[in-house]
Structure 1
Amino acid sequence: MGNGESVGYMRPSDIRFTHDSIQYNFRDGRTLTDTFRQLLRKSTPIDNIPEMEVMQYGGKWFVVRGNRRLFVFKELEKRNQIAQVQVRKKNFDSGLFHNQYTSPNEGRSVRIRGRAREAVEREFQEEWEEYQRDNSYCTIL
């Protein structure tokens, strides 16, 4: 581990985006929706996802490597499927941070390139509803 780095756990909701937009596909070709589905159904263990790199700026934590992962993790957290994720906390590096930081709203939200955000949110919701149906059970009264 490099100087000024530590590994810890954080809630995705406590981390902000640095980018104003993210691509719908990861470098390996998987989409945000594919990744959400695989993590939700545990066909891909969350430990197989590389940890995000975060740094503090202005008293808030921002992701400097992993904006797409953060988007997926936030959606899983909203549905109470994860509470925390492992992150690599880096000391503040002005060059790296300002090279990454394009957010117009202090990292509160992000646009999705290559797909309408509403479509992605609908796909995530459909996956979630299907997951709940597949994992529902009847209780005997």
Structure 2
Amino acid sequence: MVNEESMRPSDIRFTHDSIQYKFTDGRTLTETFRQLLRKVTPIENIPKMEVMPNKGKWFVVRGNRRLFVYKELEKRNQIEKVQVTKRIFNRELFDKQYTSTNEGRSVKIRGRGLEAVMQDFNEVWEEYKRENPFCPIL
């Protein structure tokens, strides 16, 4: 069974222990964060993440990089919820995706490093706040 629903990114855990800095289309996490923050790319244009339950928690099985960006936008009160596709638990798919070493609470970033990416996000955020003092929610 599959259905679509809105969820808070903070209620979803990662399945991967690490994510690549670039999306398959070549955009970086930082570019995507900037484009969503500035509404250059509407959030509706980003493919929905696929999530499934496991042991009472929701995990993303398609969209770990998107989840990382959404969590950062949520922390800054720029989004409340995102549309996701909820799937029933599938052991084979979950086990294939699940490499987390901390129950999906965080990820490492390959190709740039978490610390550098967070610094980039913070710089983009500070620039955005200077230009948009009221920072509306997306």
TM-score by length of structure 2 reads 0.96
- The C-alpha deviation readout for 1:47-70, integer Å capped at 9, x for no partner, is 000000000000000000000000
Q: Report matched runs for 1:1-141 at 5 Å.
A: 4-136=1-133
Q: TM-score, normalised by structure 1?
A: 0.94
* Greater C-alpha Rg: 1
CA RMSD of aligned residues (A): 0.7
- Number of residue pairs matched by the alignment: 134
Gaps of 5+ in 1: none
Q: Output the CA distance in 1 between the equivalents of 2:28 and 2:45.
A: 16
- Structure 2 segments unaligned to the other structure (5+ residues): none
SS in 2 for 1:50: coil
Q: Percent identity?
A: 71
Once the two structures are TM-superposed, the CA of residue 136 in structure 1 deviates from its matched residue by: 2.4
Give 4+ residue runs of structure 1 displaced > 4 Å after superposition. Answer: none
